[in-house]
Amino acid sequence: MGQGIMLSGAADIDFMIHGVFPYQLFGQTVWITTTHVCVLIVMLVIVAFCIAANRVIKHASDVPGTFQNIVEMVVEMLDKMVGGVMGKFSPQFRNYISTIFIFILLSNISGLFGLRPPTADYGVTLPMGIMTFTLIHFNKFRYQKVKGVIAGLCDPWPIWAPINIIGDVAVPISLSLRLFANVLSGTVMMALVYALLSKIAIIWPAALHVYFDLFSGAIQTYVFCMLTMTYITDACTTE
Amino acid sequence: MGEFNNNFILGCSAIGAGLAVIAGIGPGVGQGIAAGHAAAAVGRNPGAKSDVTSTMLLGQAVAETTGLYGLLIAMLLLFVKPLLP
């Protein structure tokens, strides 16, 4: 009584992050969680794909086989996406953008394979937001110089500077929260369906998986990369 | 007076969670308007369908953020239970 929400089968609802085993670090107890395990699995898949792709591209043939075709298609697609938004700045950033695109996409899709998506942990998405933040401001200082940054800060009038600073700080927070909350809501929905409707959840949850894991995951990946690119291009452009 | 038990706090948390997801109204209306205008744009210029669609999805995903903040508050209230002593 009084513990948690009273629902039939509420004990089966399971979408939280679980600790796998603890270890000591500088006198603190730190946990290896399911997120770490899932990130490792996603990473292993990506590394295996990369090794195979590297091997194929090194012995590239004029008439590409199936796998070589897939690799070339992925690279061309990402190049086109980055080039379309960033224009002349795309050569410097397409490696980074492609990396986070593939990582976030596979992380979001991993819910299909029974993993807890790593991006449904704020500890994974916040570092990505901070990386974007760092890139934005590094490039702002690099291209616009200190004078341009100060001019951008005092945009209409100097009195506006605190609001502009709040706007700058809000960028990584909203970026990371958007990705986190979208993936988390999908995870929670699927957990609720499987726990509360376990008697009749037979084949139709597949349709929900298509929406929550594939569609929503792909859209959020696209949005994260698109916004990152837009912000960075904005920071690189000098008036 | 001054002494509330945990059930009362949990009930109030559930009410608060319900109120928090009312935030979903705004993004719903906003996304609908965006989708409507995108449909009109495709009707006027069917050639630009892929551009319009990607722009619409980007804008909708950004507009969704405020609703997701409400969802996060509801989740915190229901599952993390920060108000319990």
d(CA A139, CA A130) in angstroms, rounded, equals 14
Tens-digit pLDDT string for chain A (239 aa): 444 444 445 566 777 788 888 888 888 888 888 888 999 999 999 999 999 999 888 887 778 788 888 888 999 999 998 988 888 888 888 899 999 999 999 999 998 888 888 998 888 999 999 999 999 999 999 988 888 888 888 878 888 888 889 988 999 999 999 999 999 988 888 888 888 787 787 888 888 888 888 998 998 999 899 899 989 998 888 76
Question: Are A181 and B62 a contacting pair at CB < 8 A?
Answer: no
Q: Per residue in A133-142, pLDDT tens?
A: 999 999 999 9
Range of the structural domain that residue A100 is part of: 10-236
CA atoms within 13 A on the CB side of A11: 1
Per the domain annotation, does A3 fall within a domain? Answer: no
Which residues from A are below 8 Å from B72, CB to CB? 177, 181, 184
Per the domain annotation, does A176 fall within a domain? Answer: yes
Single-letter residue type at A118: P
Per the domain annotation, does A232 fall within a domain? Answer: yes
In CATH terms, the superfamily for domain B6-76 is: F1F0 ATP synthase subunit C (1.20.20.10)
Report how many domains make up chain A.
Answer: 1
Per the domain annotation, does A2 fall within a domain? Answer: no
Single-letter residue type at A231: Y
Chain B residue at shortest CA distance from A176: B65
- B6 → closest Cβ in A2, A16, A177: A2
- Residues with Cβ < 8 Å from A201, sequence gap 6 or more? A193, A194
Q: Per residue in A82-95, pLDDT tens?
A: 988 888 888 888 89
Q: What is the ipTM of this complex?
A: 0.80
Mutate to test the interface with A, among B51, B54, B65, B76 (most CBs of A within 10 A): B65
Per the domain annotation, does A1 fall within a domain? Answer: no
Per the domain annotation, does A5 fall within a domain? Answer: no
- Which residues of B lie inside 8 Å of A (Cβ-Cβ)? 5-7, 10, 14, 54, 57-58, 61-62, 64-65, 68-69, 71-72, 75, 78-79
Burial of B68: CB neighbours in 10 Å, binned 0-12, 13-18, 19+: buried
Which residues from B are below 8 Å from A187, CB to CB? none
CB atoms within 10 A of CB A58: 7
